[in-house]
Structure 1
Amino acid sequence: MKTSYKVGSRNSQLAMIQTNWIVDRLRDLHPDFTFEIVGMSTMGDKILNVALPKIGEKSLFTKELEDALLVDEIDFVVHSLKDLPTQLPPELTIAAITEREDPRDAVMFNPKFKGCQLATLPPGSKIGTSSLRRIAQLKNRFPHLEFIDVRGNLNTRLRKLDDPEGPYSALILAAAGIGRMGWNDRIGQFLEREDCMHAVGQGALAVECASKNEEIIKLLGELVHPITYYCCIAERTFLRTLEGGCSVPVAVSSNLQLVDGNNKLCLQGSVWSLDGSKSIINELLVNLNNDEDLISSQETPGVIDMTSVSVCSFPGFKENAAEKCALLGKCLGNKLLQLGAKEILLEVRQSGAIKSVRNEETLNSLHLRDLRLTLLGTVSQNGYKELIVNPCRTFRRTKPPKVTRLLRAHPTMSENPGSTGPVDNDDKIFKPISGDESGQDVTEIESYCVNCGENVSLSSFGQLGNCCTGTISPP
């Protein structure tokens, strides 16, 4: 049996606090085991000049850690559950969801507004948050306020708030994160459900590992908190049904209570327009002790998407309780879609608020530099972004609304190593960006599908979206 483990974590102070908390619990349970924490930086940590919803990725704070899991560099990863997409790579699973801390959002005020509430701030006061969910709800509740983006780790945000020359009258953050940082004394107001419903999974930690590693799944299963587990499965399935991500203005509130000997889970969900003027809000209740409640011939527990969460059972709950929670989330999501949520979400997506605005500079400085790639050029073709990189490296991407194709440039020996020539292929000219110092000529452009390895020629780009999942990478 394995007794030594490598634990992945983001490098931020909050992430390390959370990871150390998990490791301390495991050490208490297994004092003979050893745990090494491996820190990493993620895309969300690196892109600080763009609002989170506009980066256009669903794995902003998890992808690099998951990549390390997939190649066995680490054994498991600690996340804030709200950062985890509702669909993980099939090789990975959420093996533990820990007891939820306060799921509410909280307001930290600039010192000059100490003692204020959001309702009493002067008109036009600027409130820092990057969350479309918070902005939509609070615009509806407090129309006299202005909401502006704020990025960086929590220490950076607090410095921005306290800067006498800064623009922020207040910041809105997750109460759980503020508490873990030891800053509860800075909280000036908690936002109740009537003001701002929380994000899916907010306040809970999740531990992710390989889905086939039963030994680690069993180890991490000792950390699972039953009530939080069931509530978060319902919340995640609700979000999954709406096909939303952490950037979409979708909010929830859940509560599991023992009533007359029955475990009853109430899930409330909402979808908001960006300006807060339109919303769809509804709730459903399920009795986890009643085999018939919510179950229909079309929607049986065995076919419900568990949103990549390992199935657990606990004393006092029926074996199918997890599936019933997932069904609750699915039913509520479908109900909101029928009531008009689909149209609201379509408006949000078409507005560009959650569309990628990455430019060549961002791509070059973030992804390509990390992989020791040089961006030779970009070209737009039928609404698709095509990147030409050199030398050849694997570059894994998740599928965006429109396929982003990563092309590789085949280097060849050149009599003039200081030049990089354009390629004319099918009347498409791929020009290198200025200042390229790769010292290699671009002589051929090809693209490949990550999943099936098929070589896709330039002439067949129109069919690219039909190839497996449409995720494209050099081999």
Structure 2
Amino acid sequence: MKIRIGTRKSKLALWQSEWVKAQIEKKFPDVEVDLVKITTKGDKILDVPLAKIGDKGLFTKEIEEAMLRGEVDIAVHSLKDVPSKLPEGLKLIAYSDREDPRDAFLSNGKFTLETLPQGAVVGTSSLRRKAQLRILRPDVQIKDLRGNVDTRIRKLKEGEYDAIILAAAGVKRLGWEEEIDEVLSPDKFIPSVSQGILGIEAREGDEEIERIVREAINSYESEVAATLERAFLRTLEGGCQVPMGCYAIVNEDRVHVRAFISDLEGKFFHREEGVFSFKDLKDADRIGVSIAERLLSAGGREILEELLKCQ
């Protein structure tokens, strides 16, 4: 049997796909796994902030279309890049163990976020990171940052930025961990939905492929966390880009959740945190929806309405 993985060409995407390939071949020696490289819209547009062009599906659409045409069988995604609603005919079939879900702070000068000099230039294109930066360090200048992990670190070293913020998972997976000056605590800096988790997407009805991939890859704890966090995302997505974050820590039958929603400037910032009991994935989904609804009631609905006016 052969399984074809559709993958972007970036170093991180290839690392992730090679890792999944190795896990499948280790568990199922008779299965042949090939990588099919595909260029996505997000790979082509490198000079515009993601929020300005709408980042939903920018790194997944072309791969999903190839799956629907039968040209590839599965896709390996950084789950934080996957929209809450998938194209008809496709589904998420497995979730990897979660790599470090936090954000990594890298600087020119071994600074932390707290010790970074006033007026320093910090690079990120993430609305979530910008909103939290404006709360924690309103004195710094925020400058958009695009490109793959290697490109972003190169731009930092060349002096375009005094510091940058990246997903710790990607930095570590590519072997750049020694460049990290601080890993930002989720107590103060809430991660993106499903950050650190790899999500495997496939066609609905490919039961044998789903069985093989789940046996080789799936982590139930990651599946619970992703289900909760993506339910949160689904509930808050109103057709526009919104600064938000949600992070769930699963411990047996309990889950500790931190979440927030903000306006673009970080002036209206609403946060929720709590520990919840759950029995199954349906409970996880319900908890994610409930937390999102709490934030909407606390002022998030007004934020969404204002953002929609700007679309």
Match of 1:279 in 2: 269
1:199 is the counterpart of 2:189: no
CA deviations on 1:157-182 (whole Å, 9 max, x unpaired) are 1111111xx33001100000000010
Match of 1:332 in 2: 291
Change (3 A) 1:92 1:26: same
Supply the AA of the counterpart residue of 1:248.
Answer: V
List structure 1 runs of 4+ shifted beyond 6 angstroms. Answer: none
1:323 is the counterpart of 2:269: no
* CA distance in 1: counterparts of 2:66 and 2:131, whole angstroms: 35
* CA distance in 1: counterparts of 2:241 and 2:70, whole angstroms: 29
Q: CA deviation at 1:347?
A: 2.4
* SS at 2:114 equivalent: helix
Match of 1:470 in 2: none
* CA distance in 2: counterparts of 1:202 and 1:63, whole angstroms: 19
* Matched-pair contact (CA < 8 Å) for 1:131–1:247: no
Match of 1:95 in 2: 93
Match of 2:137 in 1: 142
Supply the AA of the counterpart residue of 2:248.
Answer: S
Bigger relative CO (Cα 8 Å, ≥ 6 apart): 2
Q: CA deviation at 1:57?
A: 4.5
* SS at 1:61 equivalent: coil
CA deviations on 1:220-274 (whole Å, 9 max, x unpaired) are 111110111101100000110112589421111211113xxxx112222110111
- Once the two structures are superposed, the pairs formed by residues 83-162 of structure 1 within 5 Å of their partners are 83-110=81-108, 113-114=109-110, 116-162=111-157
Q: CA deviation at 1:334?
A: 1.3
1:179 is the counterpart of 2:172: yes
* SS at 1:171 equivalent: strand
* Matched-pair contact (CA < 8 Å) for 2:240–2:307: no
Match of 2:224 among 205, 219, 230: 230
Match of 1:424 in 2: none
Match of 2:213 in 1: 220
**RMSD (Å) for aligned C-alpha atoms:** 1.5
Match of 1:252 in 2: 246
* Matched-pair contact (CA < 8 Å) for 1:201–1:232: yes
* CA distance in 1: counterparts of 2:256 and 2:116, whole angstroms: 34
* SS at 1:267 equivalent: strand
Q: Which has the larger radius of gyration?
A: 1
Match of 1:68 in 2: 66
* SS at 2:183 equivalent: strand
CA deviations on 1:410-434 (whole Å, 9 max, x unpaired) are xxxxxxxxxxxxxxxxxxxxxxxxx
* CA distance in 1: counterparts of 2:103 and 2:309, whole angstroms: 27
* Matched-pair contact (CA < 8 Å) for 1:272–1:279: yes
* SS at 1:283 equivalent: strand
Change (3 A) 1:212 1:239: same
* CA distance in 1: counterparts of 2:150 and 2:2, whole angstroms: 32
* SS at 1:240 equivalent: helix
CA deviations on 1:315-357 (whole Å, 9 max, x unpaired) are xxxxxx0111001111111111111101112223434xxx5xx
1:241 is the counterpart of 2:235: yes
* Matched-pair contact (CA < 8 Å) for 1:10–1:40: yes
* Matched-pair contact (CA < 8 Å) for 1:251–1:270: yes
* CA distance in 2: counterparts of 1:126 and 1:348, whole angstroms: 26
Q: CA deviation at 1:276?
A: 1.3
* SS at 2:251 equivalent: strand
* CA distance in 2: counterparts of 1:128 and 1:280, whole angstroms: 24
CA deviations on 1:336-390 (whole Å, 9 max, x unpaired) are 1111101112223434xxx5xxxxxxxxxxxxxxxxxxxxxxxxxxxxxxxxxxx
Change (3 A) 1:254 1:141: same
Normalised to the residue count of structure 1, the TM-score between the two structures is 0.63
- Once the two structures are superposed, the pairs formed by residues 422-461 of structure 1 within 5 Å of their partners are none
Q: CA deviation at 1:284?
A: 4.3
* CA distance in 2: counterparts of 1:284 and 1:108, whole angstroms: 30
Structure 1: stretches of 5+ with no match in the other structure? 290-320, 356-475
* Matched-pair contact (CA < 8 Å) for 1:244–1:250: no
Give the fraction of aligned pairs with identical amino acids, expressed as a percent.
40
Match of 1:43 in 2: 41
* Matched-pair contact (CA < 8 Å) for 2:77–2:199: yes
* Matched-pair contact (CA < 8 Å) for 1:239–1:245: no
Supply the AA of the counterpart residue of 2:56.
Answer: K
Q: CA deviation at 1:141?
A: 0.5
Matched residues, number: 310
Match of 1:350 in 2: 309
Supply the AA of the counterpart residue of 1:128.
Answer: G
* SS at 2:160 equivalent: coil
Match of 2:26 in 1: 28
Match of 1:190 in 2: 183
* Matched-pair contact (CA < 8 Å) for 2:131–2:262: yes
* Matched-pair contact (CA < 8 Å) for 2:242–2:263: no
CA deviations on 1:286-343 (whole Å, 9 max, x unpaired) are 3224xxxxxxxxxxxxxxxxxxxxxxxxxxxxxxx01110011111111111111011
